[in-house]
């Protein structure tokens, strides 16, 4: 069992006896084909234990990407022990105080953490990885189209049970294909790929990044949109603008509005597809609760755009399903 393997790992790392007490606390958030626990061996600090499978190919990227980011002075947890053969690792425990847990805090409290996160996003744009470090497949036209199809398959078809003929027609809308083509034309820099509130830990007044195994080349605006239009946080219009202003201050440039809008559309489609898929699994209903919020944000993002016609029927079906 994964927990037994992690217990063996912590005892091996600390040279503990087989009878040494070690409390295991499950960490249940996320759905990445990994078992993640907090390990507290008696008389020692806590550790995060990770046992991963190859259910998702990006799981194997965590350790090499972590080493790269640590070497480039990003705020990421230290990998203290790893055994690739057994697919286990012990990671520095940064705690549970992520941005999502700060949702009800006033902007003045959240602002330093957002600033720190955006500073690291800006730094990622200029950081060059080693040539032999392999990332996940880059964002290109095909990957953006995959995200779109994922949205229609998992949300419109599987969860909402919309008419298959209508779903096919909507998914093949030329405006969606054009959006994927436009975004896929450029993928120069690295993106986190899941730059949202649960993956940004607040510690010592700074933002620490986790769950970066999906890192790949793409458009920086995808990460920026993931943070600003995060369904978990459901930022007000005012807070969305504050984040945009903060980004302009940090990066010293204004994002290209049409590109940011397209990236926000893509990211929200991908997130809603994931919510629909994960939320249908046992004990994961919490993810389904995020869909109506995401749909409202998506409706605002696509209003007046070329893709509104393709997405409005699904957004309306979400409202009916969750009414």
pLDDT at 30 over 60: no
Q: How many CB atoms lie within 10 A of CB 142?
A: 11
What is this structure's pTM? 0.94
- Give phi and psi for 22, each to the nearest 5: -145, 115
How confident is the model at residue 197, as a pLDDT?
98
> pLDDT tens, 36-91?
999 999 999 999 999 887 677 777 788 899 999 999 999 999 999 988 888 889 99
Report the alpha-carbon distance of residue 194 to residue 246 in Å, rounded. Answer: 20
Q: What is the DSSP string of 271-301?
A: HHHHHHHHHTSTT-GGGTTHHHHHHHHHHHH
**50 in Cβ contact with 213 (< 8 Å):** no
Token pair of 2, please?
């994964």
Structural domains of the chain ordered from first start? 2-92 (3.30.200.20), 100-321 (3.90.1200.10)
For 241-296, how does the pLDDT look when each residue is reduced to its tens digit (9 = 90+)? Answer: 999 999 999 999 999 999 999 999 999 999 999 999 999 998 899 999 999 999 99
Q: And the tokens for 310?
A: 């393709």
Give the residue from 79, 26, 102, 57 showing the smallest Cα distance to 210: 79
């Amino acid at each position: 069992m994964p927990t037994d393997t992690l217990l063996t790992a912590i005892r091996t790392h600390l040279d503990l006896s087989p009878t040494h007490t070690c409390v295991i606390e499950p960490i249940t958030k996320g759905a990445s084909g990994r078992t993640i626990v907090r390990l507290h061996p008696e008389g020692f600090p806590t550790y995060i234990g990770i046992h991963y499978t190859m259910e998702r190919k990006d799981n194997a990227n965590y350790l090499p990407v972590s080493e790269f980011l640590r070497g480039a002075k990003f705020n990421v947890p230290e990998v203290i022990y790893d055994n690739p053969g057994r697919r286990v690792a012990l990671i520095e425990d940064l705690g549970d105080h992520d941005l999502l847990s700060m949702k009800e805090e006033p902007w003045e409290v959240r602002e330093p953490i957002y600033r720190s996160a955006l500073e690291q996003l800006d730094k990622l744009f200029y950081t060059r990885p080693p040539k032999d470090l392999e990332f996940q497949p880059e964002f290109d036209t095909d990957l953006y189209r995959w995200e779109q199809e994922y949205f229609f398959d998992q949300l419109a078809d599987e969860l909402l049970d919309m008419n298959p003929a209508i779903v096919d027609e909507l998914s093949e809308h030329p405006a969606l294909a054009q959006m994927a083509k436009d975004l896929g034309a450029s993928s120069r820099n690295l993106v986190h790929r899941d730059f949202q509130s649960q993956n940004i830990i607040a510690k010592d007044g700074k933002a620490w990044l986790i769950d970066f195994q999906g890192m790949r080349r793409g458009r920086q605006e995808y990460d920026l949109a993931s943070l600003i239009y995060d369904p978990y946080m459901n930022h007000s219009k005012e807070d969305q603008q504050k984040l945009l202003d903060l980004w302009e201050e940090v990066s010293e440039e204004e994002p290209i509005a049409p590109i940011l809008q397209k990236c926000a559309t893509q990211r929200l489609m991908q997130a809603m597809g994931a919510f629909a898929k994960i939320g249908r699994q046992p004990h994961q209903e919490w993810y389904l609760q995020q869909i109506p919020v995401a749909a409202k944000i998506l409706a605002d993002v696509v209003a007046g755009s070329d893709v509104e016609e393709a997405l409005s029927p699904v957004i309306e079906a979400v409202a009916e399903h969750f009414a």
